[in-house]
């Protein structure tokens, strides 16, 4: 379990640092390069990345206190959710700069959102079903 806790802390801290860097990029450089809608979408991606990076760090605390192997699912759901949800929005918001176009990436965003939701619902399930003590 020590390895899992360490993995959660490193992943959560890395993703949070990346969210701060992307937030700064959006606030200082992209502000002059993107339209208002694209910038708003980029900021949404940053916000959800930070929320779920902090949630991953919180899972490391829960693992310490409860030693639950079941918390692996929300860890992976939040991590993949950041990749799919925030990652796809970063890509879509900056298309005008990169010149890349991939119509298939649009459906990836809601899949990331479903991963976020499933991670939260699973935590609720664990703590209401008495699997967590």
pLDDT tens, 18-57?
A: 999 999 999 999 999 999 999 999 999 999 999 999 999 9
**Token output for 132:** 């967590």
Identify the pLDDT of residue 100: 78
- Asked whether the predicted pLDDT for residue 65 surpasses 80, the reply is no
Angle between helices 36-66 and 108-128 (to 10 degrees): 30
* pTM > 0.85: yes
Identify the pLDDT of residue 17: 99
Mean pLDDT for all residues in the chain: 92
Q: Which residues, 6+ apart, have CB-to-CB distance to 99 below 8 Å?
A: none
- Domain positions in the chain are 2-128
């Amino acid at each position: 379990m020590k390895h899992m806790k360490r993995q959660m802390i490193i992943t959560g801290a890395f993703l949070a640092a990346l969210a701060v860097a992307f937030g700064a990029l959006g606030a200082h450089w992209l502000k002059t390069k993107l339209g208002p809608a694209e910038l708003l979408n980029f900021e949404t991606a940053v916000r959800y990345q930070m929320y779920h990076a902090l949630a991953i760090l919180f899972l490391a605390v829960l693992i310490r206190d409860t030693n639950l192997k079941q918390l692996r699912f929300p860890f992976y759901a939040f991590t993949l959710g950041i990749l799919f949800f925030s990652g796809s929005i970063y890509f879509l918001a900056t298309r005008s700069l990169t010149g890349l176009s991939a119509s298939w990436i649009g459906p990836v965003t809601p899949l990331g959102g479903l991963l976020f939701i499933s991670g939260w619902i699973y935590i609720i399930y664990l703590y209401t079903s008495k699997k967590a003590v």
